[in-house]
Amino acid sequence: MLRGAAVVGVSAAAGWALTACDTGPTQRQLDAEALLPHAQSAYRQQRAATGLAPRNTEYTEALKTVADQRGAHLTALRDEINRLHSSTAEQIETPAGTPVASVEALRRDIESAAKNAANSCVRLSGFDAGLLGSVSASCQTLAKVQLA
């Protein structure tokens, strides 16, 4: 009887200790959260380029290219976020910041996205780092060539 009581006591203490531990977010969730602002930026810029294209006839084709490219970035980032931590992907289309009102503002926003992706890429590794490096290079081209 004493052995049974000791086993129950030890089991209860071990169970309490295990349930009291908070492991926090997983590395996959942290990686998904690191990609989230980049996906949100791509979403916002794709929508801005699509909205600006009909109103800025001299930039219509360039803005269509920007919308297509930022849409491709959004798709790649969303796919990776879904793979890492699917519930984080639900936050991508959350509006953030003020809407972009001009081609010049969009160009500055895309340049900022390029810098942010480059800065984040050095803190990540593997596929995620390569993905952000590619997004950064593409954004630089969009800002300096398409929207120049």
84 has pLDDT over 80: yes
Domain covering 26-146: architecture: Up-down Bundle (1.20)
* pTM of the complete model: 0.82
**Taking Cα atoms as reference points, which of 37, 58, 51 lies closest to residue 146?**
58
The pLDDT of residue 8: 54
Alpha helices in the chain (DSSP H): 2-20, 27-52, 60-84, 103-121, 126-141
Residue boundaries of the structural domains of the chain: 26-146
**9/23 Cα distance (integer angstroms):** 24
The pLDDT of residue 24: 86
List the structure tokens of 102: 């001009």
pLDDT digits (tens, 9 = 90+) for 87-135: 999 999 876 667 788 999 999 999 999 999 999 999 999 999 999 999 9
The pLDDT of residue 94: 75
The pLDDT of residue 100: 82
* Residue 56, phi then psi, degrees to nearest 5: -125, 80
Q: For the chain, how long is the longest CA-to-CA vector?
A: 88
**Taking Cα atoms as reference points, which of 121, 132, 122, 106 lies closest to residue 46?**
106
pLDDT digits (tens, 9 = 90+) for 22-69: 688 999 999 999 999 999 999 999 999 999 999 999 999 999 999 999
**48/85 Cα distance (integer angstroms):** 27
- The number of CA neighbours under 13 Å toward the Cβ of 55 is 8
The pLDDT of residue 116: 97
The pLDDT of residue 115: 98
